Amino acid sequence: MSSKQSQYRGEHLRVPVVSVRIILTRRGVVLAAASIAIALLGALTLRYEYITMSSALAFVLLLDAIYVLSVSIRVKKSGSFIERVRVPERIVLGSEAVMRVVGSARGASPRGRLVLEDTIPPSLKVVGKSEAVARGDWVELEYVIRALYRGSHLVGPVKMSMPSPNDLLRVDFITPPVTHVYIDAVPTFYALEVTAPVTKIRYPSPGAHTVRVKGAGAEFFALREYVPGDDVRLIHWGVTARNPRRMPIVREVLAESMFEVFVVLDPGPMTRAGYAEGRRIIDDMVDAAGAVVTTAMKKGDPVGLYLTGVPALAIPPTRRFERIIFGLKHLEKVGPSPETFISTGSLPDVVGRFVKRGSLVLVISLLDSIVPSRAKKMAMSLRGLGVRAVFVMPYLPKYAEVAAGEYLSALEPFVEEERRRVAMLVRALREGGAEVALHGPDTLVYGAVASYMAMGAVGGAFLE
């Protein structure tokens, strides 16, 4: 990964022109139809001036036809080509990249006017005006693009043509269908510099970032009464003998464990909504998850991923560089899901299988279609597993303010209903023992990283 906003291909794509095609332009069609109509009118009325006018129009069309035929013959003999000189292989979402295409029609008349046009999909926006410089038998087109959405965008094919002097006919230069290219728009977390050595990520200094959890260890924590399931070796017989209730007393001990973070991304159906040109809520959520993962990589903390969208993925917390990079590549392609997959049982079940006690579970989700009672049960289940759960939620009322602007009043019923829904969810999650952080479009990425850093800063504290 690099800090550069765009990465360009090293090789140029040069395609020869294999054939030409002569097409009647709209102006040519109108002129030909007018010439035929005037000729028929002259034949019906036997008026000489109509026949003369029709002949003049036909002569103009004939001159343009002779010109384009001569250009076609010369170009076929001398050869022509279209070349993509500057093509980005990838572009970071929200940044800009320069595209440059060159076309040559050797043998064309120096008085001709070559026209070069590139096919741009709606998912890419041309910033400013495209500049085309045409001189004799070659033309250069340069423009700036900005990706509106993540993913792979098809650009092309390139079209080169030369109109006749009166723009009645046009010569299209036909090339093999290989002038199209795919440009990958990647999330903004790819712009972060990840320069930590592989050895540092694989083998961080032992005990540099630890948490204390209940478990097999040597450090005394507290005394409490025996409950079924406790290890009988932890019974404190001296205190038990002095206990007037004659109930066994056991020792609670602490064990140190490596601080781990497990990032959960759940893009429900509402995340496909956009709030600004070139931005969707799902893009912010992907950036937030990627920023936490890349930050954990640089700090050397084991980090895992659980992606419930399409495609889905589960990676247990690890320090292996190649597995984390694989997860980031998978995260890059995550899109909105038709439904919310996080439920009362699914998330605790995954956490119970992949995450150990004392770890941080960072959930990035709107939690749409989840009722407060289920959310509270889910938070209690996570707390029972001995992990610290933090829910980072995009706050839709803030997104609506940015998206709607002056039309916010029309969305006020939806915004008010969303405020009530989020308030009940937040109350239920906190009652279940989880932390909740609400963020708007400007703070979601930084808020997710701040939540991870805050939990890591108390790594030496006891987590229930």
Mean pLDDT of the chain: 80
User: Is residue 344 pLDDT above 90, yes or no?
Assistant: no
* Residues contacting residue 430 through CB under 8 Å, at least 6 positions apart: 379, 436
> What is the arithmetic mean of pLDDT over 392-409?
78
Q: Which residue in the block uniquely carries the two structure tokens 């102006």?
A: 27
What amino acid is encoded at 379 in this protein?
Answer: A
**Neighbour count for residue 436 (Cβ, 10 Å):** 21
Instruction: Give the dihedral of Cα atoms 377, 383, 389, 394; nearest 10 deg.
Output: 20
Closest CA to 87 of 115, 125, 118: 118
The architecture CATH gives domain 6-186: Sandwich (2.60)
**CB 328, CB 432: distance < 8 Å:** no
Rounded to an integer, what distance in angstroms lies between the CA atom of residue 379 and that of residue 422? 15
Strands 19-24 and 435-439: unpaired
Task: Tell me which of 25-39, 82-96, 224-238, 368-382 is least confident.
Answer: 224-238
Sequence ranges of the domains in the chain: 6-186, 193-207+259-457, 210-257
Strands 274-276 and 279-280: antiparallel
Strands 13-16 and 80-86: antiparallel
**Neighbour count for residue 366 (Cβ, 10 Å):** 26
pLDDT in tens, 218-274: 556 678 888 776 777 778 888 888 888 778 888 776 545 567 899 999 887 777 777
What amino acid is encoded at 90 in this protein?
Answer: R
**CB 277, CB 434: distance < 8 Å:** no
Q: Which CATH number fits domain 193-207+259-457: 3.90.1010.10, 3.40.50.410, 3.90.850.10, 3.20.20.70?
A: 3.40.50.410
Strands 6-8 and 80-86: unpaired
**Neighbour count for residue 325 (Cβ, 10 Å):** 14
Angle at which helices 372-384 and 346-354 pack, to 10 degrees? 20
**Neighbour count for residue 218 (Cβ, 10 Å):** 8
CA angle 155, 138, 6 (to 5 degrees): 35
405 falls in which pLDDT band (50, 70, 90)?
Answer: low
pLDDT in tens, 23-73: 899 998 998 999 899 888 888 887 888 888 988 988 999 998 998 888 888
Is there a common fold for 6-186 and 193-207+259-457?
Answer: no
pLDDT at residue 74, rounded to an integer: 80
Q: Is 11 helix (H, G, I), strand (E, B) or coil?
A: coil
* Residue scoring higher pLDDT (133 or 4): 133
**CB 359, CB 210: distance < 8 Å:** no
**Neighbour count for residue 157 (Cβ, 10 Å):** 17
